Amino acid sequence: MYPQARNNVFASVFLLCYIRGAITPPFKGGHPLKGLKGRIQGVFLRRSPLQAGIIILKIYMKKNDIIEKVLEKLGGTKKDATTAIETVFDTIAGALIKGDTVKVGGFGTFRVSRRAAREGVNPRTGEKIQIAAKTVPKWRPSKELKEAVK
């Protein structure tokens, strides 16, 4: 087993035991799950032949995590990093509101798509309803990002 996979399995098993109450605080050297509060989407026990018994932990990243990464990389103050990240997000959102396309090399393309009006069915009553047309933002990852994630 690769060292990284072994560490991931250990962390996942540890988290599952912690959630079920088998492991309790206090912990030496700080809480091992510090910073994960509110970010755990789910813990899944895989039963496939290749992953028998491996627990998969899904964690997502928040805007504050991105700000912290920028702060680590560039230094400066947290206020400057927050301003930089919010400026990027505001610029992308502003362009999409105007109907423009935003291409970020090596990352992806943000664009606006129009969904036509259509007829739907209310699942509760079975009654046919008219769903209005709407405009939605879409993102398509770049080829480089797709290859990097593989």
Which position has the higher pLDDT, 29 or 117? 117
Interacting residues of 130 by C-beta distance below 8 A, sequence separation 6+: 117, 118, 119, 120
DSSP state of 117: P
> Residue 58: pLDDT above 70?
no
The CATH classification of domain 101-150, taken from the options 1.10.3720.10, 4.10.520.10, 1.10.760.10, 3.30.230.10: 4.10.520.10
- As a whole number of angstroms, the distance between CA 123 and CA 103 comes to 38
Tokens in use for 122?
Answer: 């209310």
> Residue 57: pLDDT above 90?
no
For residue 94, name the pLDDT band (cuts at 50, 70, 90): very high
> Residue 120: pLDDT above 80?
yes
Question: Residues of the chain with pLDDT > 70: what percent?
Answer: 61
> Residue 2: pLDDT above 70?
no
The pTM of the whole model exceeds 0.75: no
